[in-house]
Amino acid sequence: MHEDQLSPDLGRLIDAAKAAAAQAESSNPPAEGVAVLTGSGAVYAGYVGDDPAAESRCAAESALTAARRAGDREVLAAAVAVANDRAESVFPSADCSRLLAEIDPDLPLVAKQLGRWVMLPLSRLSPPA
């Protein structure tokens, strides 16, 4: 699946994850950004350190906290991005993977794999050996 073939909602999800990663870049290398798409169609993004009052352990926690604060509980999909990462594949950190798997081990996750944006169930998206 190519980025230009993704639905508009998933395109917004990728853009939000990229923007969150870019914001995190200066304060928290590696600068991981995570965005979640909720049942209401809203997208919430986060990165470690974006809420000084919170002690987030991963970018997904920050994004999910923003969704809960807005009253959105149903997470349909997530996306992960890392700022200025030239790698062929980008996977969520171990903490983010665990937290997202608590929602649904097969949660659709959009990430860069072998140079392309793909959407796979979280359980199938694993770093190369």
How confident is the model at residue 63, as a pLDDT? 94
**Residue 24 included in any domain:** yes
Question: How many domains does the chain fold into?
Answer: 1
Q: 103 is in which domain, residue-wise?
A: 3-121
Instruction: Identify whether 126 is part of a domain.
Output: no
Q: Do the domain assignments include residue 14? A: yes
pLDDT of residue 86: 74
Instruction: Round to whole Å and give the CA distance between 69 and 46.
Output: 13
**What one-character DSSP code corresponds to residue 15?**
H
127: in domain: no
* Cβ atoms within 10 Å, residue 1: 13
* 29 found inside a domain: yes
Structural domain includes residue 113: yes
* One pLDDT digit (tens) per residue for the chain, 129 residues: 344 445 888 889 999 999 998 887 665 556 889 999 999 999 999 987 555 555 657 889 999 999 999 999 999 999 999 887 777 788 888 888 999 999 999 999 998 888 888 898 999 875 544
In a domain? residue 50: yes
CA distance 66 to 111: 21
By three-state DSSP, how is residue 16 classified?
helix
Taking CA atoms, 27 is separated from 22, 57, 85, in Å, by: 10, 14, 15
C-alpha span between 65 and 106 (Å, rounded): 20
User: Does residue 129 fall inside a structural domain?
Assistant: no
Q: What is the CATH number of the domain that holds 45?
A: 3.40.140.10
